[in-house]
Amino acid sequence: MTSIETDVLILGGGPAGLWAALSAAAMGARVTLVDKSRCGSSGPTMYGTTVLWDIPPGPGRAEAVEKEFVAGGKLGDREWLLRVVDETHQRLLTWSGTRHRVPDPHGDPAQVHFDGASYLRRLRRGALEVGVRILDHHSALQLLVDPAGTVVGAAGVQRHNKFRPWTIRAGAVVVATGGCAFLSGGAGTEVSTGEGLLMAAEAGAELCGMEFSSAYGLAPVLSRVHPHPAVAPGLSVHFAALYDETGAELPDRHPAALTAIADGRRVFAALSEVPDTVRHWLSRHGAVDAAGRVPVRAVLEGTIRGAGGLALAGADCATTVRGLFGAGDATGRQIVTGAAGACGGLNGAWALASGSWAGQGAAAFAVANERSSSARPVPGVGLGPHSHIDPRSVIGLVQEHTLPLRRSYRRSAGSLGDSIAELDAMWPGAQFDLGGLGVGQLRARQAAALLAVARWAGYSALLRAESRGIHRRIDHPAAHSDWLVRLRCGGLDEVWVRREQWSPPLDGELTAATPAAV
């Protein structure tokens, strides 16, 4: 077994995890980062263009913040949005990668675009230069806690070393494992399966905004060949004009396209607006039809572009468990996105800002708190040595109740109730029968995480009896002032959901969650 001591342990090597590593190292902490794949070479960011807000001081900031606040159904927090804007702008002023920016395709000066692969490579190289220890292909399976319940590390296996176990003791841990896309086939989302959320919940962490986990993207329909899910099929249509089967342009692009697909109509992307290199790739893989159009389909992006994730308890991105911090897509982002999906410049800015704050917060916590000499692994689902159920059966059930538009895009009490009943019935079997050794253990853990995330999302969506942002209820099509509230959820054997006693932000402070009767 490999055993390591460090000050700050970061789980996940995407943009948020790497920014957390850089900021923690800048405070003098010893930093170790583990990634289930290769840090800087996997995940959704790797296969597309990364968009970040970069808004200098001035009236443009207030305008951008107010626009996002209203778009999010007024569930966000203007002061947190301003913090994100300022942090991102300050970081980009001193980061050498900004010289590779390209103009926004729609002429928005508040946004800058980076090639995702180059962005990640530069972040990884910067982390190595400041002494961050990066361990690739080290899958985390469970957190470690001391007798008081404080998170003091994590344990897992080395995928490329015969699944040899590893244990890392740390003064604080940052969960930056990304969101959950339910293995929908979106570009780079094969690593976004929710294990970080499950590990945190098993340690007692709360989640928030899980009803806003129904974000969908668009990807071309490939007729000749089906490449590995990591290949970037969806990037080509991100900015292209979209048309329905009659040839009429869809004015609102993405929302109108999803509505058309949900209604059973076919939708096409304009090939003329696709970059040449991608156009050749699409033609080679049979994505261009006889009329020269690119048929597209809806792909669930879940909490990657949604707002659900770990609930934050402070401005330093601490979670509700001592010693555990959250960053990026693993966190509940309704504090900034409200009920809207986390897309565009805000999504990239949140990864940068939350990663920076989480790294600083974790480093400060590691210095200020005395470490216990004892630690135990948190028990988890799917960690036993024997398997009595095929993980594929669990994943198949989860996908049946999450991926279709009729399940996650257009919800109702009836469909949500049916899904919750099926998923709840599967949980006891998954809890006691999932397991295995080597890759079998990783697949069991993945299946358990997908099932847990689907249950949290279903219960939260059932309770919010209105339509707001990306949460759409066909039996409650309007937004109601009575539902200008935020929801918390958690639990494994018994899922719970409660309201926060919340009012519009006061003096810029993060409002605390106070349980209330529902």
CA distance 86 to 80: 10
pLDDT greater than 90 at residue 262: yes
pLDDT greater than 50 at residue 230: no
pLDDT at position 506 is: 42
Query: Tokens in use for 455?
Result: 């249950």
pLDDT at position 342 is: 80
Q: Which of 154, 34, 98 is nearest to 348 (CA)?
A: 98
Instruction: Kindly report the CATH class assigned to 2-212+303-377.
Output: alpha beta
Q: Which helix (H) or strand (E) holds 203?
A: none
pLDDT greater than 60 at residue 256: yes
Mean pLDDT of the region 65-71? 92
Local confidence band at 211 (pLDDT 50, 70, 90 cut-offs): very high
Q: Are strands 164-175 and 2-11 parallel, antiparallel or unpaired?
A: parallel
Q: Which of 327, 20, 325 is nearest to 172 (CA)?
A: 325
User: Which tens digit of pLDDT belongs to each residue from 476-511?
Assistant: 999 998 899 999 999 999 999 999 866 654 433 333
- Specify whether the CB–CB gap between 134 and 22 falls below 8 A: no
Lowest average pLDDT, out of 35-49, 78-92, 143-157, 438-452, goes to 35-49
CA distance 235 to 169: 39
Q: What is the residue extent of each domain of the chain?
A: 2-212+303-377, 215-301, 391-499
Domain 391-499, what fold? Methane Monooxygenase Hydroxylase; Chain G, domain 1 (1.20.58)
Between 257 and 280, name the one with better pLDDT. 257
The one-letter amino acid at 132: V
CA distance 285 to 88: 38
Give the whole-number percent of the chain exceeding pLDDT 70. 89
pLDDT at position 512 is: 35
Give the whole-number percent of the chain exceeding pLDDT 90. 72
Mean pLDDT of the region 97-123? 70
Q: Which of 185, 266, 215 is nearest to 409 (CA)?
A: 215
Mean pLDDT of the region 6-24? 97
pLDDT greater than 90 at residue 293: no
Between 243 and 292, name the one with better pLDDT. 243
